[in-house]
Each structure stands twice: as structure tokens, then as C-alpha cells.
Amino acid sequence: MKNMLVTGGCGFIGSNFIHYILSESGYKGRIINVDKLTYAGNPENLAGIDKKFPGRYCFVKADICDRQAMEMVFEKHQIDSVCHFAAESHVDRSIVEPDAFIKTNITGTFNLLELARSHKDKILLFHHISTDEVYGSISDGSCFTEDTPYHPNSPYSASKAASDHLVRAYGTTYGLPVTISNCSNNYGPYQFPEKLIPLIILNAFEEKALPVYGDGLNIRDWLYVTDHCKAIWLIMQNGKRGETYNIGGDCEMRNIDVVKMICDLIEKIMPRPNHPHLQELITFVKDRPGHDLRYAIDFSKLQTELGWVPAESFETGIKKTIKWYIDNKNWVDRVKSGKYMSWIKQQYDL
């Protein structure tokens, strides 16, 4: 792989992946980052990387739904591999604006697959990033495996399920070399503050209300983003073509416990004498429609076949995450000044 197309590389996981690939992975080729730059795509996430790695990083502003623009990228940069992150990803927004999710997550993925098929003689791998949400919700003590039937419960997860099926079909029907990974909830640096963890961290810094859906008892398996990036690269290098790999953090926690831990850690890192306890700011808000109760990933296939396990516990990862947001106040201020923050405030009735 000499010319890797990374879609959505200015987003949260995509930018972390590019940092990891160029700085730590041993990859010697070029990264061509294509991003539409929606509200969650921030070029500042990769500021200076072109100078740090001269000749090895190129940014192209384009929409994966624009077949002509993407054809030019494939031709001009002689793309030989694809790591596909680009997606609309926020469940709340999919409930009120599902059309964008259908267009980007399904049609956009279809466009990329068609282009990869038309350049099949050059394409060494098409890796598709997906989510554990395609499996639906778990009510018992089991975990999602790669053989768990799909049961998406939101427009977001349904659109990702559709894109997963397209990727698998192109591998089976056209012989395109594909791999798919389904990950649990990510957290870490550069995450846009619509998601639970950065929203809670940043609101706690400002002593604002800390919104928690319903009773806060929904359970998620948390995965530190750098662990995720390492797993993706391992799959891209050594995973069996045509296979799906689940990536989990081995870290199930109730949402309310996540919020309480963040409050406690912030108070240790940033003592607040004569201030109310941050947990007093927890505000329970109306649950969202179709809110899945529990996600849990069984990543034993990835561990057994490729030797991957997460390096970070939730406590070590969340400490790193809190410190990153403290150390990058300018990034936070610029992101929070965007118009999308008004939508977040409206959704959570803050």
C-alpha cells in the first residue's frame, strides 16, 4: 500500500488514524485525505502534518457522494488502498435529519465501492469502518460477535448496516479485497462535543448542566481511539480479506457511572475549593427514541487471529482525554464557537 485514500480524515477517528499511521505505524507510503468538512470535519485536527511529513500527506476537500470528484482523486493519486471512515455518525441527529445519513453512509459508500471496482487492478484493500450499533441492543449478559445478526434501531445504525452489506457484497460478487471492522464507542482527543464524553468534560469545565439520557443506566463498551487505530491498521495489514473483525475496549460502563467518574477525575486534576461537587450538575433529560440499552463487543476473533488487545483501561484513557481537552483550550474554543453548538444545546434542552 503506497497511496492510501482515507475518507473523513479530518473527523475524530480519521484524524487520530492519520496521526497514528504517519507517526507510529511504520507505514512508508502516502495518505490522501478526502473530507467534505461538515461540522465534525476539522482541518485543525491535522494542522502541520503536511510539513512534518513532507510529500506524504495530501488533503482534498470533496464529497464522497460526488462520483466525478472522487474519480479524479483515484486517478490523480493512483489510489491503491482505501480506509473508509467518512460517515454521518451522531444517532441523535439521524433521528431528526435521517436523509443526510442515507446519502452519505449508503450512497457515498456505494460510490467508493464502484470506483474501487473500476480500479480493481490497482486496489489492494478496501477497509470499511463500521459500528457495533448495527447489531442492535443486548438485554442479556452476552456480547456481540461477528456472527450476531444485524438489528439496527436508528436511522444511523440502519445506514451503517446497509453500507456494511454493500462492502461485503462487493467482496463476494466482484472479488474486491475488502475487510470490515465494527467498533464499540470511541473516545479521546479531537472528538466533537456532541458526543457524551467530550460534552460532559467541556460542560464540567464551565460548571454547566451535565445532561444524561433517561435514568443513565444504558451501558456502552468504551474504546480509546488510539487503541482503535492500532486495531484498524493491524486488520489492514494482516486481516483475512472478506472478513469482519469486532473491535472492543473490554470496558462496559453505565452512562451515569461514566459521567460520575469524569466529574471525580476533573475535581482531582483541577481542584475547585468552595465550589459545589460537579456531580450536583448532573441533569437527567428525556430519553431519545429507540435508545439501545446495552452494547458489548466480543473481540476474541481479533485477539486470537491477530494478537490485538486494548492497551488503555477506561481510567487511563479518560485521564488522557481530560488532559488533552485541558491542554487544547484554543481548539475547544474554536470548535464550540461553531453554529452546530446551538443545535446541541437545543437537543439537550440546556
Residues labelled as active-site residues: 132-133, 156
Query: In a 3-state reduction of DSSP, which class is residue 219?
Result: strand
Kind and range of the H or E run holding 196: helix 196-205
Q: Where are the alpha helices (DSSP H) in 12-66?
A: 12-23, 49-52
Please name which of 100, 261, 89 lies closest in space to residue 183, comparing C-alpha atoms: 89
Query: Is 153 in contact with 162 (CB distance < 8 Å)?
Result: no
End-to-end alpha carbon distance in the chain: 47
How far lies 58's CA from each of 41, 53, 116, 142, in Å?
Answer: 15, 10, 19, 43
Radius of gyration of the chain (CA): 20
Q: How many residues does the chain have?
A: 350
